[in-house]
Homo-oligomer: A and B are copies of this chain.
């Protein structure tokens, strides 16, 4: 991932603003991600995707289906298949088939996975808190609120189902 782009030649400033915000959002996230990723690797030999996945499972003691994980992490099913496979190999997670619907896989943290995540989570919180240390509580709340609005705004973008290209549109 990289750096959302702009053409800035002769476009009025208010037209440019969303693009600039997007750029700022993008680079902030990359920046924080870099901090967290480095720390996860150096301190725990782990990665952000694995941590996020463990976190979801931690919050769902009853387990999650593959599809639910994929929805929560906002990634494809195929991605989750691979991620879970590695975590199973590491013994942090286990899979079992649903008894009624044989298409469904239930995924849960193993006791080891639970323990490992419990040790990572406070460190992660500390890193993120430190990264945001210069923002006051008020600023953080403002940011949170604006991001909430943004989320709602993006969610309204119509996503046409595939095949709806309408090549003969006027």
Give residues in A with beta carbon < 8 Å to B. 1-8, 11, 14-15, 17-22, 24-36, 38, 42, 48-49, 51-56, 58-59, 72-75, 118, 121-122, 124-125, 127-135, 137, 139-144, 146-157, 159, 165
| Cβ-defined partner of A73 (8 Å) among B2, B29, B159 | B2
Q: A4-B36, A5-B51, A6-B55 are in contact. Are A18 and B150 (CB under 8 A)?
A: no
Closest-by-CB residue of B relative to A83 is B2
Nearest chain B CB to A42 CB, angstrom units = 7
The residues of B that contact A54 with a CB separation of less than 8 Å are 5
The residues of B that contact A26 with a CB separation of less than 8 Å are 29, 33
Question: Chain A interface mostly helix, strand, loop or mixed?
Answer: helix
The residues of B that contact A154 with a CB separation of less than 8 Å are 28, 31-32, 35, 131-132
The residues of B that contact A55 with a CB separation of less than 8 Å are 3-7
The residues of B that contact A5 with a CB separation of less than 8 Å are 51-52, 54-56, 58, 121, 124
| Cβ-defined partner of A21 (8 Å) among B22, B118, B125, B132 | B132
B134 engages A152 (CB within 8 Å): yes
A140 engages B4 (CB within 8 Å): no
